[in-house]
Amino acid sequence: MKAGIFFTGTGPILLLTTYGELSDPALVAKLAQKGIKKYIAYEVTEDLVKEKYGKHFDVIMGDLKQSDDLRVLDYDGHHVFYNFSLSELGTPIYHEGE
């Protein structure tokens, strides 16, 4: 399980995915299908996300069943941005789109 904060044109969103890497081409394609074609992504640890989101994390995790699935845990950009310290973010992954 991977968790990532994706800074998009409309603000940050927090995603959970069963893809092995946030740069997986299949994940990139799936995000593009949803209109997210350009972003900066940062991996955050699953434990940290679970600590910050508690029961909501468990509900969303219960919904992740397919091996190539992803779920939006939080789409309130203000909440995502201020819920995490910048020092908690991993190495940035840049995607420019097509």
User: Tell me, what's the pLDDT at 69?
Assistant: 79
Q: What mean pLDDT is predicted for residues 45-71?
A: 81
User: Tell me, what's the pLDDT at 36?
Assistant: 94
**Tokens 């900066």, residue located:** 40
CA nearest 13: which of 63, 25, 35? 35
User: Tell me, what's the pLDDT at 10?
Assistant: 92
For the cut 70, the answer to whether the pLDDT of residue 66 exceeds it is no
Arithmetic mean of pLDDT over the chain: 90
How many angstroms separate the CA atoms of 55 and 72, rounded?
15
For the cut 60, the answer to whether the pLDDT of residue 21 exceeds it is yes
User: Tell me, what's the pLDDT at 68?
Assistant: 53
Q: What mean pLDDT is predicted for residues 9-27?
A: 93
Q: Supply the pTM of this predicted model.
A: 0.90
